[in-house]
Amino acid sequence: MGLTVVSGHGHTWRLTEQIGSGSEGFVYGVDDTRPLVAKLVPDPPEPEAYRRRVARLVRQRREPRTVGLLSGTPVRLAWPLVQVRTAAGAAADRVDGYVMPDMRHAYQPFSHLLSTSARRAFLPRATWATALRAALALARLLGELHAEGYVVGDLKTDNLWVDEGGRVGMADVDSWQFRDGRELFPGRMRTPGYTAPERLGTATAAPPDTTSDDFALAVLVHQLLLAGLHPFAGHPADGGDYRSYDDNVLHGRCRIVDRTSVLLPRSVPPADLLPRRLTELFRRAFTDPAHRPTAAAWAEALAAELTPGRLRVCAVNARHVHTVERPWCPWCDQAEQGSDSYPDQPREEA
C-alpha cells in the first residue's frame, strides 16, 4: 500500500515511490499508463493561497497563451494537469498537490550537461554544439514565458531538464510568479548563485521580475557554454576569503567582466572560446541591470551562432566543437592545461 491522491472530480491515482524532494515539495511516481508524476506540498506557508495558485495554473492550461507554450513534443513544461489531495485521513491532515508530466520520460536532469563526468556517463555524444542548442532552447522558452506574462523567479539547474539533442524542459511551474485576473501570485523563492544582485542583500526577498530571470538565464548560458563553469566562480584575487557565488556577485568578481578579479585554476575552459557577440552580452548581463540582455536577445544571438558555417570541428578530437571566430581549438588548449571538458570517447577494445 502506498499513498493515494484524489482529484476534485473524484479520480484517484495510486502513488508509487518517492522520486525527489525539493525545498518545499515531494515528487512521487504515479501508477498510470501515461508518464505522470505527482508533487505534494505539505504545509505551504499559505495553504489556501497555494490551492488557489494550483487551481489557476490548471485552468490556464486551456488558455490561448498557455496552449502555445505547451505545444510540441516532447512537452517543454511540467505544467500542473490536475489538482489533487492525498485521499486518506481527516481533511486537516490531507496534503495538497498536483499531477504533472514526468519529465524523466523525455529528458535528463540539466546538471548532466554541466560536468565532464556526467556528460561522459549520461550524454556521451554531447559537444559544445549541444550546449549551444540547449542555451538557445532555454532562452527561447524563457522569452516565450515572459511574453505571456510569466516570471519563473527561481530559475536554476534543479528545475531544468535537457536531452541529448539540446532540447530543454522546465518543472516547478507552481513556484512561478503570475497574474490571474486581478490576483497576483508572487514568486518567493531564490537560489544561491542564481539571484540577481539587485535581489541580494535584502532581508526579505525582493519580488522577482523578468530582469532577474534574465540574470539567472545569463548564469545558466555561461555554465552551458563554459562546460559548467559558473560566471562568478573563483577565489577573490584581492586576497580575502572566498565566501560564495552571491558574495562574488555583490562584489562584481567575475572573470568575463574583469579577469583580474578572481583566481581560477588554469584548467578551466578559456574565456576566449566565446564568440565576441556573446561575450558582450555576458558583460552587459553581469554589470548593468538596466541594460541586461533579455531572453529574446539571447535567443537571437545564440541562434546566430548555430547557423551553418559558424561552428568548426577540431581535427584532433571530433568532440571538440568551437566557434569559427577562434582560429584554433579552445578545448585542446584546455586539455594542455590538464583538463579536457569534452574528452574523446575511449575506444572499444577490438
Q: Which stretches of the chain bind another protein, using CB under 8 A?
A: 1-4, 18, 21, 23-24, 26, 40, 42-43, 86, 88-89, 93, 95, 109, 111-112, 114-118, 157-158, 191-192, 227-230, 233-235, 237, 241-247, 259-260, 262-268, 339, 341
Cα–Cα distances in angstroms (integers) from residue 314 to residues 4, 304, 344, in the given order: 54, 20, 11
Minimum separation from the CB atom of position 287 to another protein (A): 19
Nearer to another protein, 12 or 18 (CB): 18
Minimum separation from the CB atom of position 289 to another protein (A): 19
Nearer to another protein, 120 or 310 (CB): 120
Nearer to another protein, 68 or 201 (CB): 201
112: left (phi over 0), alpha (psi -120 to 50) or beta: alpha
Task: Give strand pairing partners of 15.
Answer: 30
Q: What's the DSSP call for residue 70?
A: T
Minimum separation from the CB atom of position 26 to another protein (A): 5
Calpha distance 107→243 (Å, rounded): 34
Residue written as cell 562584489? 251
What residues contact 349, with CB distance under 8 A and at least 6 apart?
A: none
Angle at CA of residue 14, ends 11 and 19, nearest 5°: 125
Nearer to another protein, 43 or 349 (CB): 43
Minimum separation from the CB atom of position 277 to another protein (A): 25
**CB-CB contact of 152 with 213 (8 Å):** yes
Minimum separation from the CB atom of position 82 to another protein (A): 19
Nearer to another protein, 203 or 290 (CB): 203
Q: In the chain, what's the furthest Cα-to-Cα distance?
A: 68
Lateral strand order in the sheet of 108-109: 108-109, 160-162, 168-170
Minimum separation from the CB atom of position 66 to another protein (A): 28
Nearer to another protein, 45 or 346 (CB): 45
Nearer to another protein, 1 or 91 (CB): 1
**CB-CB contact of 295 with 142 (8 Å):** yes
Q: What's the DSSP call for residue 177?
A: B
DSSP string covering 124-151: TT--HHHHHHHHHHHHHHHHHHHHTT-B
Minimum separation from the CB atom of position 280 to another protein (A): 22
Nearer to another protein, 130 or 157 (CB): 157
Nearer to another protein, 174 or 305 (CB): 174
Q: Is the peptide bond before 74 cis (omega within 30 degrees of 0)?
A: yes
Minimum separation from the CB atom of position 303 to another protein (A): 28
Cα–Cα distances in angstroms (integers) from residue 211 to residues 71, 290, 336, in the given order: 26, 9, 38
With H, G, I as helix, E, B as strand and everything else as coil, classify residue 108.
strand
Minimum separation from the CB atom of position 232 to another protein (A): 10
Q: All 3 cell numbers of residue 33?
A: 499508463
Determine the length of the chain: 350
